[in-house]
Homo-oligomer: A and B are copies of this chain.
């Protein structure tokens, strides 16, 4: 009953805990949120069922923590790509590409993310203000408006539109329904930019 405390940064996370996270993501991707019993997670992660309960209070807690973990990685991408020292337009393209690549290359995470966000676990939603990911995104688009690069539209709208375009493209790619080459990806970004940018 002595649950391992969540540490802020993930570097010093126990190997077992990391394995449990990884397995959960993979299995949830394949079998869904349901269809993924704890016993299966345990076997796949190479630990005993009881061990999971050493680290996580319950299945629900495991899923919640995994979501936080995943979200932190997405936040890290935004922080990495949205440096204030380069021109906004360039930064917008960098951010779009960075997030798209991140989701495309972490399809387990993307799938888990989408399932979680649309599930009732996430329904008792944290107020937007506390959502670091969106807070960062808002700030980024606020900068664009402030610098006169973007239309005067609510940054929330700009952030949501941009992010949904990234997610939907990554999902398309992930599902194998469509594949985009470099040229098409640039087209998509350009198209979005044309929509949100202030005409010169």
Contacts and interface: CB of A to CB of B under 8 A. Distances in A.
Interface stretch (A5-13, A71-79, A80-88, A117-125): A117-125
Contact of A160 (B111, B151, B169, B195): B169
A148 interface: no
A97 interface: no
Contacts of A175: 125
A192 to B, nearest CB: 6
Taking chain A's interface residues, is the majority helix, strand, or loop, or is none over half, making it mixed? Answer: helix
Interface in A159-200: 160-161, 163-165, 167-169, 172, 175, 177-178, 180, 184, 187-188, 191-196
Contact of A168 (B154, B161, B187): B161
A62 to B, nearest CB: 14
A1 interface: no
A177 B118 contact: no
Contacts of A33: 32-34, 119
A57 to B, nearest CB: 18
Nearest to A127: B177
A106 interface: no
A127 to B, nearest CB: 8
A139 interface: no
Interface of A: 30-35, 111, 114-115, 118-121, 125, 127-128, 151, 153-154, 156-157, 160-161, 163-165, 167-169, 172, 175, 177-178, 180, 184, 187-188, 191-196
14 contacts: A32-B33, A32-B120, A35-B120, A114-B114, A115-B118, A153-B187, A153-B188, A156-B172, A157-B180, A161-B165, A161-B168, A161-B188, A193-B195, A194-B194
